[in-house]
């Protein structure tokens, strides 16, 4: 299977721009979306995938789910107030998410 392309977008939120990054983590079949404000993670969404089929069908489904989750988070941000954002897009432990991301993408982690 080829590498799945992630998504990156900036979105206006309360007179500022936040950055939304969505990636597929093949090691644990998870799609992770991180929301950044000035470099700090302020929200996240993680979804575990269970998909079967041919490699082509699996790849297509992963890409569909990745785009769907990215758009969903972007829409949530556009429609949310600051206090609502944390409730609507609850953040897992930001440090754990960042460590998982760095380990997956760059092969580094806390040692």
- When pLDDT is averaged across residues 21-27 and rounded to a whole number, the result is 93
Q: What is the pLDDT of residues 53-72, one digit of tens each?
A: 999 999 999 999 999 999 99
Does the pTM surpass 0.85? The reply is no
DSSP string, 64-78: HHHHHHHHHHHHHHH
What tokens does 42 get? 């302020």
- Report d(CA 66, CA 4) in Å as an integer: 9
Residue 86's pLDDT is 52
Domain positions in the chain: 7-105
| Mean pLDDT of all residues belonging to the chain | 80
SS3 79: helix
Residue 92 has pLDDT above 80, yes or no: no
């Amino acid at each position: 299977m080829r590498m799945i392309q992630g998504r990156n977008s900036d979105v206006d939120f309360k007179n500022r721009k936040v950055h939304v990054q969505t990636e597929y983590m093949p090691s644990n079949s998870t799609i992770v979306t991180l929301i950044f404000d000035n470099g700090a993670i302020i929200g996240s969404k993680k979804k575990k995938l269970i998909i079967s089929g041919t490699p082509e069908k699996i790849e297509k489904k992963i890409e569909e789910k990745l785009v769907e989750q990215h758009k969903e988070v972007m829409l949530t941000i556009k429609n949310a107030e600051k206090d609502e954002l944390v409730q609507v897009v609850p953040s897992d432990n930001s440090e754990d998410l960042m460590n998982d991301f760095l380990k997956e993408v760059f092969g580094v982690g806390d040692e």
